[in-house]
Amino acid sequence: MPRELRLGRHATITEVRRTDAALGITAVSELSVVELYPPLARAILDAGYSIVSSDNEGFEAEIFFGDDRTTGAYRLREAPCKEQVIVKLLFEQRDAREKT
């Protein structure tokens, strides 16, 4: 995973799941969805990916991205705890998926 997409500077990682082809990360942030969305979108572009689709409703948001070898998605949701946001990142490499 590119360093630019790591969540450590925006959120506390609470779970990591890995398969041969994919990486899933769950994190909690003290930033709002509105505050998180711009730096995550910028990180995607800075890492050389294209944003395929996105939606930001203020209380939840999605950013789908990729290139010819990788697909990924950020999902942001307000958490049950006030003033926290759950961030999920799915990052999948197509060439690894095709080998399995």
Span 38-90, pLDDT tens digits = 999 999 999 999 999 999 999 999 999 999 999 999 999 999 888 999 999 99
pLDDT at 95 over 70: no
Domain segments of the chain as ranges: 3-99
* Spatial CA neighbour of 86 closest among 13, 5, 3, 4: 13
- The answer regarding whether domain 3-99 maps to CATH 3.30.310.80 reads yes
pLDDT at 6 over 80: no
Q: Would you state the structure tokens that stand for residue 42, as one six-digit string? A: 């910028």
Confidence of residue 1 (pLDDT cuts 50, 70, 90): low
Q: Is 35 helix (H, G, I), strand (E, B) or coil?
A: helix
